Amino acid sequence: MGTETAGLREAKKQETRQLISDHATRLFLEQGFEDTTIAEIADAARVAKKTVTNYFARKEDMALDHQEAFAGALARTVADRAPGESALGALRRAFGEDVGRRSPVAGFSGLPFARMVADSPTLTARLRDLHDRREEELARALAEATAAAPEDITPAAAAAQLAAAHRLLFGRIQELTLAGHPVDAVAESVVQDADQVFAMLEPALADYAVAPPAD
């Protein structure tokens, strides 16, 4: 009974969190992020202001609700790479899969959301922070994958290059979206861009952090 009650309680929390996030996103898109208040979000979700701040420490957390997935995506890809696959190969493959899915983590957010972020200094700054965090997590994953010594700068250097490629391609998707290109055209264009960007990294990183063969 205790486990069942705890499960129901957690489900209710997730439901409330999603309700707040959904109403917040709707208001952000309608009014702009900077012009929407916590009080307005609470009223729309029919909860107290304190409930909103209990679930979301910062207002931007309600808009960028894929933060954890975004920040950890590159590190997880490296950790899960196939036997014999390099870090670059895994990240290149995963990016192509994300484009195929039109994943928000790759940058596919739709025109209204992309415009909302671009028009908000707060959200733009937060997105830069998330890109930085993604690079840091990738560096840690590469250090673990290569058993690098703490003083070895190689994982950080590799992460800087790989994360910069993803940051560039994310920005390219946003740029094309804001210019009004259809999502399929954006995907087709960025696939070509990705081929060029990742090919430039091949000479330096093609054989770096290759996963050991399967037993």
What pLDDT score was predicted for residue 214? 78
pLDDT of 89 > 70? The answer is yes
What pLDDT score was predicted for residue 2? 62
What pLDDT score was predicted for residue 11? 85
Classify burial at 162, counting beta carbons within 10 Å of its beta carbon; exposed 0-12, middle 13-18, buried 19 or more: buried
pLDDT tens across 40-83, in order? 999 999 999 999 999 999 999 999 878 889 999 999 999 999 99
Query: Average model confidence (pLDDT) for the chain?
Result: 94
What pLDDT score was predicted for residue 200? 97
Q: Considering only CA atoms, which of 196, 144, 143 is closest in space to residue 165?
A: 196
* Residue 80 identity (one-letter amino acid): D
**Greater confidence, 65 or 154?**
154
pLDDT more than 70, % of the chain: 97
What pLDDT score was predicted for residue 188? 97
Quickly state the pLDDT bin for 115 (edges 50, 70, 90): very high
pLDDT of 1 > 70? The answer is no
State if pTM tops 0.95: no
pLDDT of 208 > 80? The answer is yes
Could you give all domains of the chain from N- to C-terminal order, each with its CATH number? 2-62 (1.10.10.60), 67-205 (1.10.357)
